Amino acid sequence: MSTLDLKATSKFIFSSIFVGVILGIIGSAMANLFRSGITFLNELETDLLEGVPKFYFYFITLSIAALLVHNIKSKLIDTGFHGVADSIYFAHKSKDCTDVKTGVLSTLAAFVSASGGASVGQYGPLVHFGTTFGSLLSRYLRVKLSYDLFIGAGVAASISAGFGAPLAGVLFAHEVILRHYSHRSILAISTASGVAYAATQFFWQKSLVFNFPQYEFDLSALIIISLLSGPLYGAIAIFYMRSLLFFGKLSKKMSTKPFYNPFIGVLILSLIGSIFPEVMGLGTQTVQNIFEVQYGLGILLLILFGKIVTTSISLNFGFFGGVFSPALLVGASAGAAVSTFLMYAGIISNFEFPLVICGMAAVTGSVIGAPMTMIVLIIELTGSYVYALAALVSLAVSVTYTQIRFGTSYFDTQLAGRGIDISEGRIGLYLSETSVIDFCERQFDTISANETVGRAQQIMSQGQKSELIVISENQQFLGKVDALSILAADVNSRLNDYVDSQCLTISDANSLSEAMEVASDFVGEFIPIINEREGVIVGVISENALFEAYLDQQSTITEREKL
């Protein structure tokens, strides 16, 4: 990494701090207003509909929310709501592609959904709001910071304020969104996270989401239990994610009319909510009740499966939100179920709170693909290093099991479903999304198949070419002819007899990645690029041009990831 002079260094440091402060304040305000607004509306609904049977309570609130979300979505053109997966995608693009309008409307839709009682999360929408505002700020500030750094700072601020966990905010931005780390980027991101935390404490006088009990426990025994229960948490995380994907496919098959799916969603959620309200909404109070040991084994299992079902229905049948908060409740109920079962079996004498935290960390960490973030989050939320040690083993086993059996995270799977492979990083994404047409040569020599060999040799000699494109009288691509194949041929013979019609070609619809794969076994001067629909040649490209495109972008990305 190149060094900077004193003036440039001072400017960079000032810019990083300035960006971090702005995004930290905005992130803090948005996270707390978002959460406080949901709480206020939930309490207002309870007061207004006091005494109304639960089914009608949820049917009314969810119906209003579904109508509002539908109206919000109608303002988006040819796109759905954006969440964490989109934040990851935008951060990996070579240029700023964030849609501010979609980002703002997505946050509003999530706020309405959660306020209406749908089983959705709050942190995913906040993360994307941080992405949206960070990207927006990068368009107006003339500072030499890469736009993905703005995204990282916005995301870190949202997580920091949402959980009251500044270190986890910094890690989440790097581990989940940016997928890279640099010394230069840490200043803006850590400033945003720290300012968001400080502003939350100063203006809202609160930071912790849950009140975790503190007590002494046998760490060595719990680590063994944590190790053995790891695969179980991984299996639950996979079931949760597969359920989300299954209901997503189901909703697409059933989406024959605009209000059909939302009506089904409202009806089913109202029925579940009337019987089991613990699995509705954000689930924060239910998690707190689990720590207060208010549920038996049977109820805990119902909460676990009920939360997965209601979240899957909510996110795919008319509502929008995140998967982070529901995963916390699913994990907490799983950990509590393990603790309760072991207590009933006589293996442990008392209900072990660390096992609840093990479940929360393992399931959530597996869903979002962020084990290091979850460990730091546990330390910050509980204030206990020992709790984090207890959760570490189950988290590591669960994440490993999930990655082998399912994939890196739910967000990566969402992107893969859209044909976006984020696993190969920025260079892989660039190559797969950039058309080979952008790098081809439009000027090339052609010759008619009816011409003579002598004419082909003359053109090759004048242009110092070893290959020529052969076309028909109506400009259709027929193939290539090379100098060696006609070297000893009769100069008056027709060229048509020497055309290589099976030569290697690339479609004009191919990406750079696909073109490089085709060219991996190529030997020759250039590869024709063909419009297969019309059967005509539109350009040619050499191996050298493909490799230059790769190396240039690799250099650009390497330099960008330093900033």
Distance CA 263, CA 313 (A): 11
Show the beta-strand stretches assigned E in 111-242: none
Q: How confident is the model at residue 206 (pLDDT cuts 50, 70, 90)?
A: low
The verdict on residue 1 lying in a domain is no
Question: Do 349 and 252 belong to one domain?
Answer: yes
Q: Which of 423, 442, 475 is the last residue of a domain?
A: 423
Crossing angle for the helix pair 297-316 and 324-344, to the nearest 10 degrees: 160
Question: Do 400 and 468 belong to one domain?
Answer: no
218-267: pLDDT as tens digits:
788 888 998 999 999 999 999 999 999 999 999 888 866 767 888 999 99
The verdict on residue 282 lying in a domain is yes
The verdict on residue 209 lying in a domain is no
Question: Do 187 and 66 belong to one domain?
Answer: yes
Q: DSSP state, 175?
A: I
As a whole number, the mean pLDDT across the chain is 88
Using DSSP's 3-state secondary structure scheme, residue 332 falls into helix
Yes or no: say if 510 and 436 are a contact pair by the CB < 8 Å rule. Answer: yes
The set of residues, in sequence order, having a beta carbon less than 8 Å from that of 186 and lying 6+ positions away, is 170
The verdict on residue 211 lying in a domain is no
Which residues face 482 on adjacent strands? 467
122-158: pLDDT as tens digits:
888 999 999 999 999 988 887 778 888 899 999 999 9
Q: What is the mean pLDDT of residues 14-38?
A: 92
Q: DSSP state, 184?
A: T
User: What local confidence, expressed as pLDDT, does residue 76 receive?
Assistant: 86
Q: What is the mean pLDDT of residues 325-343?
A: 94
Q: Which of 394, 423, 452 is the last residue of a domain?
A: 423
User: What local confidence, expressed as pLDDT, does residue 552 receive?
Assistant: 79
Q: How confident is the model at residue 12 (pLDDT cuts 50, 70, 90)?
A: confident
Question: Do 404 and 479 belong to one domain?
Answer: no
**CATH code at position 442:** 3.10.580.10
**What residues make up the domain containing 335?**
219-259+272-423
The set of residues, in sequence order, having a beta carbon less than 8 Å from that of 256 and lying 6+ positions away, is none
| 203-212, 216-225, 406-415, 416-425: least confident range | 203-212
Q: What is the mean pLDDT of residues 446-453?
A: 85
521-531: pLDDT as tens digits:
777 788 888 88
266-310: pLDDT as tens digits:
999 999 999 999 999 988 889 989 988 899 999 999 999 999 999
The verdict on residue 315 lying in a domain is yes
User: What local confidence, expressed as pLDDT, does residue 1 receive?
Assistant: 45
Helices (H), 369-511: 371-382, 385-405, 410-417, 425-433, 453-463
Amino acid at 502: Q
562 has pLDDT over 80: no
Question: Do 46 and 190 belong to one domain?
Answer: yes
Higher pLDDT, 353 or 314: 314
Question: Do 149 and 241 belong to one domain?
Answer: no
Using DSSP's 3-state secondary structure scheme, residue 350 falls into coil
User: What local confidence, expressed as pLDDT, does residue 304 receive?
Assistant: 96
Neighbours of 487 (CB within 10 A): 9
381 has pLDDT over 90: no
Distances (CA, A) of 294 to 302, 328, 351: 14, 17, 11
Q: Which of 393, 423, 453 is the last residue of a domain?
A: 423
User: What local confidence, expressed as pLDDT, does residue 153 receive?
Assistant: 93
Question: Do 440 and 313 belong to one domain?
Answer: no
Question: Do 244 and 384 belong to one domain?
Answer: yes
Using DSSP's 3-state secondary structure scheme, residue 143 falls into coil
Distance CA 249, CA 251 (A): 5
Question: Do 287 and 340 belong to one domain?
Answer: yes
Q: What is the mean pLDDT of residues 432-443?
A: 84
Strand order in the sheet with 506-507: 506-507, 527-531, 536-541
The verdict on residue 57 lying in a domain is yes
50-83: pLDDT as tens digits:
889 999 999 999 999 999 999 999 888 777 899 9
Model confidence, pTM: 0.86
User: What local confidence, expressed as pLDDT, does residue 234 receive?
Assistant: 96
166-184: pLDDT as tens digits:
999 999 999 999 888 777 7
Q: What's the length of the chain?
A: 563
3 has pLDDT over 90: no
Distances (CA, A) of 531 to 260, 444, 445, 471: 42, 15, 17, 13
361-370: pLDDT as tens digits:
999 999 999 9
Q: What is the mean pLDDT of residues 483-507?
A: 84
The verdict on residue 560 lying in a domain is no
Domain count, the chain: 3
Q: What is the mean pLDDT of residues 185-212?
A: 84
Question: Do 419 and 504 belong to one domain?
Answer: no
**CATH code at position 107:** 1.10.3080.10
The verdict on residue 321 lying in a domain is yes
Question: Do 33 and 110 belong to one domain?
Answer: yes
Question: Do 166 and 309 belong to one domain?
Answer: no
What percent of the chain has a predicted confidence (pLDDT) above 70? 96
